[in-house]
Structures are given as structure tokens and as C-alpha cells.
Amino acid sequence: MKMNVKEWVMAVAVVATGWVTAGAQITPERLRADSDEQLLREWTRVLSHDEFGGRKPMTPYEDKTVDYLAGQLEVMGLEPAFNGSWFQPFDIISVTAKPAGGGFPVSGKRKSLLRYPDDVITWTTRATAKIDLKKAEYVFCGFGINAPEYGWNDYEGIDVKGKIVVAMVNDPGFYDNSLFKGRNMTYYGRWTYKFEEALRQGAAGCLVLHNAEAASYGWHVCVNGHLSDNLGIYNPDTRNADELAVRGWLHEEGLKKLFLAAGMDMERALADAKRPGFKSFALNVRGDVKMNVAYGIKKTRNVGGIVRGSGQSGEAVVFCAHWDHLGIGKSDERGDTIYNGAADNASGVAGALLVAKKFNDMPRPRRDLIFLFPSSEESGLFGSAYYCDHPAVPMSKTVACLNFESIGPAELTRDVVILGGGQSDLDRYYVAAAAAQGRYIYFDEDNSDGWFYRSDHYNFVKRGVPAVVLENGLHPVDVSKPNKYPMPVWYHKPCDEYHDDWDVSGTLSNLNLIFSVGLSLSNNPR
């Protein structure tokens, strides 16, 4: 293309500031010549460079990131995953919803006001100018859990259609070790589950009862997270009218007000709800729920490429690494505003690219290998959720999902940590692959903070596809030295940056482990 003078001057300026340098694709020559370590470092460095602006979806930095990724898959010679395209676009709705008054009036035996946002923080994911529920009825549903495998159903014998469900955060195991998985939170404990189940039961709204201990974070996290710009996947066919009208968190003071208005004993209800056999009940409290809603809809894209298998089985193994991070935001003490996300998750994307390259360079295994780079993981696992509803290979034919999340830096360790083991056949593949490296697997059973549910692989698990998360080991090969990277102090901070002195020896050995697990999975005749 011919440039006019102005464009030419701009192009020179861009080169001078290094824009092109950091964004440059790795060429076929370099792909052949560079070592695994060089490639891993280069992809991590480029994607976490300031020029990528922290890779926030639906900003110009998204274009830069997804174009870079697609370009790299193309250079490697993968096949586009989505009907000839590298991109899987979908819509995200961003909603800011405020109550029409200072909160939500309720009345039962007495009148009260749920003040916003001190007693309750609410939002919606519907594309509408107003939420207007007339005299909505409030129902106390314990944990709001319907779990046949644990013999627990808080919705038994109660009709919540068109009503507002109040459900406690976490699950019964948090309070009684003999119930559910004890302190290991099940998915039934997550606030997102409460909304999903309330919707299935036909409720109009759901308020999750906050408790700092059971939620593992304070009320300010709920408020700050939902005051504005609440995100959700947008379905243009329904305009999300089939979603809950009201989602929210209820402060314990808000619950007190509801029970006071109901003239009922809150302490007793909370105690009963933690025991088997609890029966949910209507509070006989009603109130209008009016919110003024402002929303916007934007497109974002998952990226994906396929290494075609030889077996024509129609089955696939998915390798997954979210490309997004937090973008540009609040300044840290050094005055840095760019959340580079080098470990989270440029390192994971770089690792997935490296594994893609390895598979592409060898004789084809039997099953297809899909390399998926979802968008919007950080804001709610939206990209992987959309993919799972619109997969390149049907979920029933997806044998496993191997997720790459914050894998660098890491030193060489004797152990490898697996979160979410004990749920599927996948465990033994990891055990065998680690043993072949002279390492061992530590199955981390402590999921009390719900980490297992907070990354993309969980959308696959929800649909019955086996998936676990590999985490860096804790015990260095050199036992005389302490672990170099014991705690992720960089987590979701601008200082999550790439440095040349990163130790990636552990990262590379973990990648080899994932590679060999992937290879066994793709060749296993079962």
C-alpha cells in the first residue's frame, strides 16, 4: 500500500517509539531456530509490553492482541478454528443500574428501606431502560442450592416464580464439615451458581447474602465490583430478557431489615438453613423494585486455531489460555497505571503457543487439538462460556480441557500442584507424565477459597468435560534454597511485568508435562 506523507511520518514515528518492535510477529525462521525458552520469553515479553496496554477487551488493545495472536497461529501454520476464521466474535453487555429512589422499600408486618449500596447492591444484565417489578415478594431460600448428589434441595416445596430469592453465600460444608465437601467449597457455594439456579427455578431476582468469612472478601468488594459497568454475555435474539431481572448482594444489615419487616426470627432461620432438612419460606415481605438502567453493547473476540488430528474421530482436546487482562487503571505507588499481566496471563498464552508449535511440528496425533484463547476471563469467564455454548468441536466430543493460567515465572520443582484432582480420569495422565519427568503430583484439595471455579476450565467442567488446573510446584529441586516465587505478590497489580531475569525452568518443564498429557489424551484409543 502506498502511503501519503502524513502516514509515512507516522510510520517512522511508530518505529522510533518501538511500537513495531514489541509487536513484531515471530517469523517462520525464528520459529525454527529459536529454543523453547527463547520463544516463551519473546511471546510473554511482547504480550505484556506496555504497548499492549494490559490487553483489556473492547479497547484498541484488544485489536492489537487478537491480531498478534492470529498472526502467530497463521505463521505457525495452524488451521483457523471458527469456520475459516481465527476469531469467534460475541457481544458483551455493560450495565449500570441504579434504584429509582435511595433504595428498595419493603413492607410486611412493618415497613423498611433497603438502602443502596449500604444494605444491598443490585444490577441486571437485561438490555432495558428500566427494571420495574411491582410488589415483588421476598423468599428466604437458605443456600439456594439444588444438589441431588448431596441430597440437598433448598427449592423443594416452594414456588419462587416471579419472586426475589435471598440465598446465603457458600455451601453447608462451610459450617459443618460433614456436609458437602466440608471447607472445600463446591460450585454450589459460588454466588454465580446462586443466580443460575434462581433463574432455573423461575425467580425474578436473586440477592446473595454476604458474609465476609463465607465469601472470603468484604462488603466493599461487592459494592466496588457492581456499582457500575456490570458485564454479561449479550444475546441479541432475546436482548437478555430471559436473564434474571435483578441480581445483587445483600448485606447482613439488609437481611436484618427484611426479617424485621417480616416480624420473623433471623438468627433461627440462619441456623436452620445450615442443617439438612431446612425448608425455605416466604418472608411475607413485598416491595417494588425499580431501577434505571444504562447499558452499552460491544463486541469482543475469542481466538482459536486447530492442529488437525489424523484419526478423523471428530474428537478434540482443548488447550486454553485467556488473552485478556485488566488494562489501564489505578496507579500504583510507582505511578504505573498499566496492568501488564505478564504472568496473568501472557505467560499462559505464550505457553499455549509453544505447545501448539510443538504439536504442529510433529506427526499428527489422532484427535484434533484446539488452541483456544478466550476473551474476558478476568471479568467473568465470558469468553470460555461463549465458546462452550458455541464450540468448534461439540462438548460431547471434547475429551478434556487443559488450561494455562499464570504459569510463569517458576523455578524447577520436584512437585507439580494440581487443583481440582480427584474428579476425573485426567489425574492418572498427570501422575504418569510427572513420573516420567522424575517429579510427583501434589493434589491440592484445599479449594476453600473457590479458586478452582475462577478460571476458564470451569466452564468446561460444568458441561461435563474433564479439566484440572496445573499450578507451579512449591518444592525447589535444590532443597537448600527457599522457593523463589512463594506468593504471587504481583497478582492483579501493575507490577505483574516481564523481566529477563525471570526463572522459567519450572515453566518449561510444566509445559512439557502438559504437552505429554495432551499427547496421551489425543492418542488414547479410548
CA 47/CA 42 separation, integer angstroms: 9
Of 207 and 326, nearer to Zn ion (C-beta) is: 326
Give me the least distance between CB of 380 and Zn ion, in Å please. 12
State the first-to-last Cα distance of the chain, in angstroms, to the nearest integer. 52
Nearest C-alpha neighbor of 47 from the set 350, 285, 410? 350
Give me the least distance between CB of 342 and Zn ion, in Å please. 11
Q: Is 96 strand, coil or helix?
A: strand
**261-to-106, 138, 160 alpha-carbon distances in Å:** 7, 11, 19
CA 407/CA 410 separation, integer angstroms: 7
Q: Does the footprint of Zn ion cover residue 125 (CB under 5 A)? A: no
Give me the least distance between CB of 441 and Zn ion, in Å please. 22
Give me the least distance between CB of 461 and Zn ion, in Å please. 16
Give me the least distance between CB of 325 and Zn ion, in Å please. 7
Of 344 and 471, nearer to Zn ion (C-beta) is: 344
Give me the least distance between CB of 428 and Zn ion, in Å please. 27
Count CB neighbours of 328 within 10 A.
16
Total residues interacting with Zn ion, rule: CB under 5 A: 2
Give me the least distance between CB of 345 and Zn ion, in Å please. 4
CA 174/CA 363 separation, integer angstroms: 49
Per the CB < 8 A criterion, the answer to whether 169 and 184 are in contact is no
Of 105 and 225, nearer to Zn ion (C-beta) is: 225
Q: Which of residues 263-302 bind Zn ion (CB under 5 A)?
A: none
Give me the least distance between CB of 384 and Zn ion, in Å please. 11
Of 345 and 379, nearer to Zn ion (C-beta) is: 345
Of 281 and 451, nearer to Zn ion (C-beta) is: 451
DSSP tag of 183: T
User: CA quadruple 181, 183, 189, 192: dihedral positive or negative?
Assistant: negative
CA 92/CA 197 separation, integer angstroms: 22
Binding mask 338-377 for Zn ion (x = CB under 5 A): ------xx--------------------------------
Cβ-based burial of 486 (10 A; exposed 0-12, middle 13-18, buried ≥19): exposed
Within 8 A by CB and 6+ apart from 430, the residues are 416, 418, 421, 441, 468, 470, 513, 517
Of 316 and 326, nearer to Zn ion (C-beta) is: 326
Triad 23, 27, 32: Cα angle to 5°: 135
Taking contact as CB under 5 A, which single stretch among the options 245-253, 267-275, 337-345, 486-494 is the one that binds Zn ion? 337-345
Of 76 and 469, nearer to Zn ion (C-beta) is: 469
Give me the least distance between CB of 405 and Zn ion, in Å please. 5
CA 481/CA 476 separation, integer angstroms: 7
Amino acid at 215: A
Q: Is 292 strand, coil or helix?
A: strand
Of 55 and 357, nearer to Zn ion (C-beta) is: 55
Give me the least distance between CB of 322 and Zn ion, in Å please. 6
CA 471/CA 478 separation, integer angstroms: 19
Of 75 and 328, nearer to Zn ion (C-beta) is: 328
**153-to-248, 340, 384, 395 alpha-carbon distances in Å:** 22, 44, 29, 28
In the numeric block, which cell numbers belong to residue 319?
488447550
Strands 316-320, 398-403: pairing is parallel
Q: Which of residues 405-424 bind Zn ion (CB under 5 A)?
A: none
CA 127/CA 211 separation, integer angstroms: 30
Of 51 and 344, nearer to Zn ion (C-beta) is: 344
Half-sphere exposure of residue 76: CA atoms within 13 angstroms, side-chain side: 27
Binding mask 30-49 for Zn ion (x = CB under 5 A): --------------------
Give me the least distance between CB of 456 and Zn ion, in Å please. 8
Of 343 and 426, nearer to Zn ion (C-beta) is: 343
Q: Which of residues 104-123 bind Zn ion (CB under 5 A)?
A: none
CA 95/CA 117 separation, integer angstroms: 16
Give me the least distance between CB of 166 and Zn ion, in Å please. 31
Of 344 and 368, nearer to Zn ion (C-beta) is: 344
Of 154 and 344, nearer to Zn ion (C-beta) is: 344
CA 219/CA 119 separation, integer angstroms: 10
Give me the least distance between CB of 340 and Zn ion, in Å please. 13
Residues in the site for Zn ion, rule: CB under 5 A? 344-345
